[in-house]
Amino acid sequence: MAAIDSEQTGTVFNIQKFSLHDGPGIRTIVFLKGCYLACKWCSNPESQKTEPEMFYHERNCIHCGRCVAACPIGAIDPKRPGLIDREACTHCGACAQACPAGAMVQSGTKMTVAQVMDELRKDETHYRRSGGGITLSGGEALAQPDFTEALLKACKARGWHTAMESTGIASLKVLERVIPLLDLLLLDIKTFYSARHEEFTGHPNEVILRNALAISELAKNIAVRVPVIPTFNDDEQSIRAIATFVTHMKNVSRLHLLPYHNYGQNKYSLLGRQYGLIGIKPPEDGRLQKYKTIVESLGIACVIGG
């Protein structure tokens, strides 16, 4: 394996330890910032922009004005600190550093591969004992290809199991560098229909579908994941179309149906944004069972949930 670039830098917004999801055993999930899509239901809205962003927790705010004084460009409203001119904001982080109350909190920080590895190594015994490892998530880890490649190489050099949650959006060159470093790829296919994809995620899906076929030649083990989102793809035709597409892919061990949840909804207001799917309820269990039967009828193992 080529030399590992431990000084490669990426923007990370969370390192979540002791996860029992997103791969086998006990895992650490490394969440990277930046995404090509903006799915209306996304539970990690803070992942979508590449740069660090500010969460404003109104209930913690003591209205001391320190963030306003610290901001070098006057982007924070003196009367309502939650009103940040997010277009003008340069992501310098001075407001969060000045806040004494944990009301202004920065999401996203630059880290080197060496710094992330220092964190991951603390749980190495758990990975070894449980057959676990690390999972890259986001955002889209492929949007930071050099960092992702260097981090995966560092993990493989220690013999850890590696996984990545992804939409597979990247150039073929990037895919060829990154995908072979994974023991498991959790690959989202959100819908087969491009116009519907564009309406709900901001982008069409031709590249995603084309890449999925290319990836399936490169990957050791793919678990396809379909977030089942009412008003978007929560119908038999949509699920059958995805599953039929998956029959043309190689190295797929199973397809997961992920029921919609609204766990990330409150984060939208903390970021000064509108949630795109207000009032939508998770799909009913009976419908999910029906979709599972459809997927299995095409010869694909199917699991409801992560």
Stretch that binds ligand SF4, among 8-16, 20-28, 97-105, 125-133 (CB under 6 A): 97-105
Binding mask 1-40 for ligand SF4 (x = CB under 6 A): ----------------------------------x-xxx-
Q: Do residues 247 and 300 lie in contact, with contact meaning Cβ atoms separated by under 8 Å?
A: yes
**Applying CB under 6 A, does 138 fall inside the site for ligand SF4?**
yes
- DSSP lists the bridge partners of residue 14 as 31
**Applying CB under 6 A, does 150 fall inside the site for ligand SF4?**
no
**Applying CB under 6 A, does 167 fall inside the site for ligand SF4?**
yes
Tokens 């006057």 — which residue?
74
Q: List the one residue from 4, 29, 30, 42 that touches ligand SF4 (CB under 6 A).
A: 42
Omega into 139 within 30° of 0, i.e. cis? Answer: yes
Residue 295 touches which member of ligand SF4, ligand SAM, none, C-beta under 5-8 Å by kind: none
Distance, in Å, from the CA atom of 300 to the CA atom of 306, rounded to the nearest integer, reads: 16
| Element holding 304 (H helix, E strand) | strand 302-304
Could you say which DSSP state residue 51 is in?
S
Q: List the one residue from 29, 76, 113, 215 that touches ligand SF4 (CB under 6 A).
A: 76
CB of 48 to ligand SAM, least distance (A): 9
Q: Give the angle subtended at the CA of 152 by the CAs of 150 and 158, to the nearest 5°.
A: 110
Q: Do residues 56 and 21 lie in contact, with contact meaning Cβ atoms separated by under 8 Å?
A: no
| Element holding 226 (H helix, E strand) | strand 222-228
In Å, how far are 188, 229, 248, 252, 303 from 294, measured between CA atoms? Answer: 18, 17, 16, 17, 12
Stretch that binds ligand SF4, among 9-17, 100-108, 110-118, 283-291 (CB under 6 A): 100-108
Residue 261 touches which member of ligand SAM, ligand SF4, none, C-beta under 5-8 Å by kind: ligand SAM
Distance, in Å, from the CA atom of 266 to the CA atom of 188, rounded to the nearest integer, reads: 24
Residue 137 touches which member of ligand SF4, ligand SAM, none, C-beta under 5-8 Å by kind: ligand SAM
Residues forming contacts to ligand SF4 in the complex (CB under 6 A) are 35, 37-39, 42, 44, 47-48, 54, 61-67, 70-71, 73, 75-76, 81, 84, 89-95, 98-99, 101, 103-104, 138-140, 167
